[in-house]
Amino acid sequence: MANVLRNSAKFGFSGVLSQLSIHSRHGRECVSPCFSLQQRNNSTSPKIKVDLDNSTGVAVLRMQSPPVNSLSLDFLTEFCINLEKLEMDKSCRGLIITSVSTHTHTHTDTDTVTQSHKTMIHTITPPVCVVSQTLSKVSSTGLDIITLPVCVCVCVCLVSQTLSKVFSAGLDIMEMYGKSPERCGEFWKAVQEMWLKLYGSNMATIAAINGSSPAGGCLMSIGCDYRIMADNPRYSIGLNETQLGIVAPFWFKDTLVNTVGNRAAELSLELGLLYSAPDALKIGLVDQLVPEDQVLSTAQDTMSKWLAVPDHARQITKSMMRKQTIDKLLSNREADITNFVSFITKDSIQRSLRMYLEMLKSRKA
């Protein structure tokens, strides 16, 4: 555990703040006034909102990165900064990780807002000047020209974007597709860092899984101490890497084995299974199912039980259970990055990823 903390010290706050995203994959900007607004609201970054209740010592970390909370380099960097801050805050003893269902984004100055299937104008705060126009836009396939109504807003407007019913869609596939080996290496280091910080956290951690949680989303969930999932037939969870033609790294596998045991992990990984909530409960991939509107409150009630245990006893026990698994990655980090980069940049793997991306998009069409 101490190793993990020492390692994480490499992310100095000034360094990481300068790395904060100003542009997401989906083209949504976060300008600096947005960040300062978040700070005033006790939210630490644009893709993640953290509320620490000083009376209970419990922080709720809400992922709010539309459309699917995918784990991009920017997202992972912000996640690690937030975790590190909470870890160093002695008043914080417990952490609940969940997803928001609505994301509010602040735009300033002249801004263009397109009305697409996932974006709607929520509020326009005066003074504002709205000019109706039409915008020609090339679609993501690059083939069709479509015309969208747009509003050009001068001054300040607030836009609300709806997140899918997703806890996290896992690693951002766009970070692994068509990227340079250097960039892939940087990305993988951030994935490692996220897992090391979470799995080795001194805080009691609960995943309040209020949506689907495939692959890296599942890794984040099993990196916590306890999992509560919404009992919704549309949601699934699992390490489905083989379905994408990729191989879950050894530390994903180790975390799953530590959670569900060897046989269930073997079936789950080789077949790339995504489990419904009841099936996930059956194999012990999640610990509890509750109605969707009770996921967070149940996590809060459960957290009070975890925090009734003296911290030092719980922390030493957690370390005893997880240290070997953590040390295995710590002593193989560079080799693991090299493996990832050489694997993911192979032509055949890139082809698999492209087909998977096309499948995701065609499913929608």
Active site residue ranges: 171, 216, 240-241
Q: Which amino acid type is present at position 168?
A: S
Distance CA 29, CA 284 (A): 40
Left if phi > 0, otherwise alpha if psi is -120 to 50, otherwise beta: which for 215?
A: left
- Spatial strand order of the sheet with 94-99 comes to 48-53, 58-63, 94-99, 204-209, 226-230, 288-290
- Spatial strand order of the sheet with 145-155 comes to 111-114, 145-155, 128-138
Tokens 């900007």 label which residue? 29
The phi, psi pair for 148, rounded to 5°, reads -120, 145
Q: In the set 86, 169, 237, 329, which binds ligand LCMDX3IU (CB under 6 A)?
A: 169
Q: Are 322 and 199 in contact (CB under 8 A)?
A: yes
What residues numbered 286-315 form the site for ligand LCMDX3IU, per CB under 6 A? none
What residues numbered 190-219 form the site for ligand LCMDX3IU, per CB under 6 A? 212, 214-216
Decide if residue 153 touches ligand LCMDX3IU (CB under 6 A): no
The residue range among 103-111, 126-134, 199-207, 240-248 that interacts with ligand LCMDX3IU, by the rule CB under 6 A, is 240-248
- Residue 195 tokens, joined: 């897992």
- We find the least distance from the C-beta atom of residue 199 to ligand LCMDX3IU, in angstroms, to be 16
Number of Cβ atoms within 10 Å of the Cβ of 252: 22
Q: In the set 18, 55, 140, 362, which binds ligand LCMDX3IU (CB under 6 A)?
A: 140
The residue range among 10-18, 168-176, 202-210, 279-287 that interacts with ligand LCMDX3IU, by the rule CB under 6 A, is 168-176
The phi, psi pair for 129, rounded to 5°, reads -120, 115
Residue nearer to ligand LCMDX3IU on the CB measure, 215 or 269:
215
- We find the least distance from the C-beta atom of residue 214 to ligand LCMDX3IU, in angstroms, to be 4
Q: Are 60 and 34 in contact (CB under 8 A)?
A: no
Q: What is the dihedral of CA 50, 55, 58, 60, to 10 degrees?
A: -30
Q: Is 73 helix (H, G, I), strand (E, B) or coil?
A: helix
Q: In the set 52, 173, 329, 337, which binds ligand LCMDX3IU (CB under 6 A)?
A: 173
Decide if residue 174 touches ligand LCMDX3IU (CB under 6 A): yes
- We find the least distance from the C-beta atom of residue 346 to ligand LCMDX3IU, in angstroms, to be 10
Q: In the set 57, 94, 170, 223, which binds ligand LCMDX3IU (CB under 6 A)?
A: 170
Question: Nearest-CB residue to ligand LCMDX3IU?
Answer: 170
Binding-residue total with ligand LCMDX3IU (CB under 6 A): 29
Angle between helix 181-199 and helix 333-344 axes, rounded to 10 deg: 130
The phi, psi pair for 42, rounded to 5°, reads 70, 20
- We find the least distance from the C-beta atom of residue 157 to ligand LCMDX3IU, in angstroms, to be 23
Q: What is the dihedral of CA 244, 355, 352, 240, to 10 degrees?
A: 0
The residue range among 92-100, 153-161, 220-228, 339-347 that interacts with ligand LCMDX3IU, by the rule CB under 6 A, is 339-347
Q: In the set 74, 78, 172, 225, which binds ligand LCMDX3IU (CB under 6 A)?
A: 172
Decide if residue 141 touches ligand LCMDX3IU (CB under 6 A): no
Decide if residue 220 touches ligand LCMDX3IU (CB under 6 A): no
Strands (E), 92-174: 94-99, 102-107, 111-114, 119-123, 128-138, 145-155, 157-162
What residues numbered 52-111 form the site for ligand LCMDX3IU, per CB under 6 A? 67-68, 70
Contact residues for ligand LCMDX3IU (CB under 6 A)?
67-68, 70, 140, 164, 166, 169-174, 212, 214-216, 240-241, 244, 246-247, 249, 339-340, 343-344, 360-361, 364
